[in-house]
Structures are given as C-alpha cells and as structure tokens.
Amino acid sequence: MHRKTEALIDLDAIRANYALACRLAPESRTIAVIKADAYGHGAVDVAHALQGSAPAFAVAIIDEALELREAGISEPLLVMEGVNSISALECAAEQELAVVVHNDEQLEDLERARLPTPISVWPKVDTGMHRLGLSPGSLADTVSRLRASDNCEASIVVCTHLASADVPGSAFTQQQLETFDACVADMGVLQSISNSGGILACPASHRDWNRPGYMLYGITPFSNDVASAAELRPAMTLQSEIIAIREVAASESVGYGGRWTASSAATIATVAIGYADGYPRHAPDGTPTIVNGCVAPLAGAVSMDLITIDVTGIEGARIGDTVTLWGEDLSVNTIAKAAGTIGYELLTGVTSRVARKFTM
C-alpha cells in the first residue's frame, strides 16, 4: 500500500519561480505553461497554486485544457497546438479556450465555423524553427482574414517560438527576432515570443505575453551558469527508499547483464524505483543518487522497478533509508546529462505509479 517512491512537489517554489519570470520581464504579462501535466508536476495543483498571480495558462493540446476546465480552472487557457476540426473549435468556444492558428487548414476551419461566441486567436508565425507556423509573408493576410471573421476576438496575439533560446546570445535567436519584427511591424497586434530561455537571457524577446514553462519548475534551461537562473528553486524532489542491502565481494557483478562489477568488496543497496517510474534506463554506472547526505553512485543496469547503488562507506545506510534521485541538491539536469537526455524529458517522464505529494 504505502510505497515510499514519491515525487515531492514544492508549490511554493513554483510560485517563487513564476514571480521571478514576472520580475525579469516587468513590461510583459506572463502566461504559465502547464502542458504535459505541468511538466510532470501535476497541472491542476500547479494551476491552483498560481491562481491569483498568473492571468492565464497554456497547454499543448485541447484535452489538457478540458481537464483543467473540468477541475474548475476558470482562467484563460491557451491551446498552443491549436485545434484541427470545426467541432473542436466549437468546443473551444464553449469552454472559452484561446487557440493558436499555425497553418492554413486551421485558419480555414476558423473562417468556416459558426461559433456561438468569438474566441481569442493567436496566429503563429514560423520565424525559422520550421516546425509549426505560418510563413512570415502570409501573416498580414492571415491577420486581416481573422479581423474579418466573426469567430475571432478583436484582440489578436501574434506568436512565434525560439529554437535556440537555451543558448544565450544565439545569433539564430537574433535572426528569428528580426524576422518576427519585420512581419508584425505596424500591424497593431499583441506579440508573444519568450519561453524560459528568452525570459532569462534575452530581454529583446520579452513582448506583451511571455510563455515560461521549464523555469517555473525551478530548473535552468541553460547548460552553463546564467546569473538570472541562479535564483530558481527546483520544485520536484524524486525520492525512493532502500529495500535491500547486501555485501558483494571483489569481481562479483550486479544486476541485468552483470553490467557493474565490484573492483573490491562493496555494499550494494537496492532501491524501489526503476524505469517504469520514470528513472532513465540509460543512466550509466556512476550516475549519482543521494543517501543520508552522501553521494551513492548507480551500480548496475536500471531495471523496471529497481535500481542498485553503491553505498560502500556510507555510514549506517540501511533498509528504509530515503534515496534522492533528483531534487534540490542533485539537479535533474545532472541526471539527464548522464543519461544522454534533457531534464524536460525526465520531469515529464515520471509515471503515474509515482505518487505526487504537494507542499504549499
């Protein structure tokens, strides 16, 4: 019943990180991005925690928005991938969802629909990422068509997304900003560009609306130290417990495939977390965990439900001790780097088997 494999979520840290995003861009309004279950932290709880400070929330897909509405979240919600049918547009109108329009098909649907009330539309322009967005040359026409449509609210927010905001001073970001500015000039629309990286390191990308996600959860999007990111407070601590301890002799190996072999006598602790909980299967031997304030390196392949760590020399390590996989003293970015991925993937990959425990 009671498994001590938990993700502790510090909602106060999320509020502080949100406040930092606002403070860094005082001229902008800050929409809190809570897609993918708030990057694994629990979208409904995070939305509740930011109610009263965040004027709006953003999600990727309409189902995420509907879940928030069902849970009683009544703030404006932006669906960043937009919707792909007229019936979904009707649903968006009923639920008062704002939608991105990133291609001609979505624009045509919006013109053809007969919505009960006009909705807020965020046309997205492709300034170089080449993933989603209308071509810069077609933006003027799109905006005039939106203005002519009864389905579209008068206030239009033109947005784009930065491909390299995690690289401070990136020339590519500069190019995207120039492309954006050239195509929205004199259009009389609101603007939105910044994600976390843009907010923290590129003031020129701060516009009417900023869209931070990752930084709200207290992790830096940069691989190097950036001063503005130093204040971030990690919101998630992923922890588990030791459920077995054994001594192994020199040359004995541990786990599937015997990947790790003791070079001398060692104490191995088995911990109740594995890749089915979201701990990365690609984590190599030596990836740090923390036991009783000491680093205990991963020793052996990550299995579905368990990992094995080397607790040799950690005074008094025993069954029931807490093991921290990432959190305040061990950045998820460190684990991600060891496992060949990014912190975003690890945070969003913590599975539903792991109970979220919230502190205010």
Ligand X SMILES: *Cc1c(COP(=O)(O)O)cnc(C)c1O
Radius of gyration of the CA atoms of the chain, in A = 23
**CA atoms of 160 and 177, how far apart (whole Å):** 9
Looking at 15, 41, 102, 161, which residue binds ligand X (CB under 6 A)? 161
75: tokens are: 């703030």
139: helix, strand or coil: helix
Q: Which of 39, 124, 214, 256 is catalytic?
A: 256
Our answer to whether residue 4 is catalytic in this structure is no
**CA atoms of 277 and 287, how far apart (whole Å):** 17
Looking at 195, 205, 220, 333, which residue binds ligand X (CB under 6 A)? 195
| Stretch of residues binding ligand X (CB under 6 A), selected from 48-56, 150-158, 212-220, 288-296 | 212-220
Looking at 106, 196, 205, 289, which residue binds ligand X (CB under 6 A)? 196
To ligand X, the closest distance from the beta carbon of 39 in angstroms equals 7
Identify the helix (H) or strand (E) that includes residue 48: helix 43-50
Binding residues for ligand X restricted to 42-81, rule: CB under 6 A: 80
| Stretch of residues binding ligand X (CB under 6 A), selected from 47-55, 88-96, 114-122, 207-215 | 207-215
Our answer to whether residue 18 is catalytic in this structure is no
Q: Which of 18, 35, 124, 344 is catalytic?
A: 35
Total residues contacting ligand X by CB under 6 A comes to 12
* 47 conformational bin, left if phi > 0, alpha if psi -120 to 50, beta if neither: alpha
| Stretch of residues binding ligand X (CB under 6 A), selected from 2-10, 148-156, 208-216, 300-308 | 208-216
Decide if residue 274 touches ligand X (CB under 6 A): no
Looking at 180, 211, 242, 343, which residue binds ligand X (CB under 6 A)? 211
Q: Please give the backbone phi and psi of residue 38, each rounded to the nearest 5 degrees, phi first.
A: 50, 55
Decide if residue 214 touches ligand X (CB under 6 A): yes
Identify the helix (H) or strand (E) that includes residue 332: helix 332-338
To ligand X, the closest distance from the beta carbon of 196 in angstroms equals 3
Q: 253 pairs with which residues across the strands?
A: 261
**CA atoms of 14 and 23, how far apart (whole Å):** 14
Please identify, using beta-carbon distances, which residue of 15 and 35 lies nearer to ligand X: 35
**CA atoms of 238 and 45, how far apart (whole Å):** 17
- CB contact at 8 A, 79 and 61: yes
Decide if residue 221 touches ligand X (CB under 6 A): yes
Beta-strand pair 253-254/260-261:
antiparallel
- Nearest residue to ligand X by CB is 213
Site for ligand X, rule CB under 6 A: 33, 35, 80, 161, 195-196, 211-215, 221
Q: Which residues are catalytic?
A: 35, 256
